[in-house]
Amino acid sequence: MANLLFDLDGTLVDSVPSMCAAANTMLARIGRDPVPAETYKNFVGHGMARQIKGVLHHTGGVPESGFDDLLEQFLMVYFDDPLTGTNTYPNVPNTLARLVNDGHRLAVITQKPAEPARRILDWLGLGDMIGVITGGDTLPVLKPDPKMITATLARMPPGPAMMIGDSDVDEKTALAAGISFLFHSAGYGVLDRHSGAATFADWRAVPDLVAQVLAAA
């Protein structure tokens, strides 16, 4: 049995459509053109403030003043409805159920604030399988700070641990905390070409990969 720590956006769920819609609402209010969801993926992974700075840079620059107000506008729109357009990746629910049946404990570590993260997990039918959520507002740090992992594990039973994510930020967090890492290659991010992480695109492969990585640790 192990403690399996999952990133949320780009790993368990494809949430870019909902976040992009909220950002485009904010952009419309300042007279800027919308960005497509495929472009918006490039801004995800470092927290919501960095996300909005990214989309503002892409559409004409971050205003010298008023950034906090624009971020607040985005958050108000997104928090009002983080669900529409958000879906699990194929085979996620069945795979998580199998991992729980195998005796593993599951947690989510995300840069997204914990409340909308919990709403998304519950709405998609994953909430009962996730014992712990560490969100972007749970601690005064974000990934890749290893405290995101150590604080999560402190709320779980002792045992081996593994991080599953879709970006080099997730890998760096796992490495900094001294735990194994699996990379979801069908998500939003990329890994350094020198990374030796085990990778998967199909969630049905995860239980066997988890067993292999744990056996080799």
Measured between alpha carbons, how far is 62 from 168 in angstroms, rounded to an integer? 25
Q: What sign does the dihedral 100-104-107-109 (CA atoms) show?
A: negative
Tokens read off for 168 = 């080099």
Residue of 7, 14, 166, 170 marked catalytic: 7
Count of residues making up the chain: 217
- Give the H/E segment covering residue 55: helix 48-58
Alpha carbon separation from 181 to 39, 97, 101, 214 (Å, rounded): 26, 20, 21, 10
Whether 202 is catalytic = no
Beta bridge partners of 88: 13
Measured between alpha carbons, how far is 217 from 208 in angstroms, rounded to an integer? 14
Which residues, at least 6 apart from 164, have a Cβ–Cβ distance to it below 8 Å? 4, 5, 6, 7, 11, 170, 181, 182, 184, 206
Residue with tokens 């950034």: 67
Beta bridge partners of 108: 6, 133
Catalytic positions, written as ranges? 7
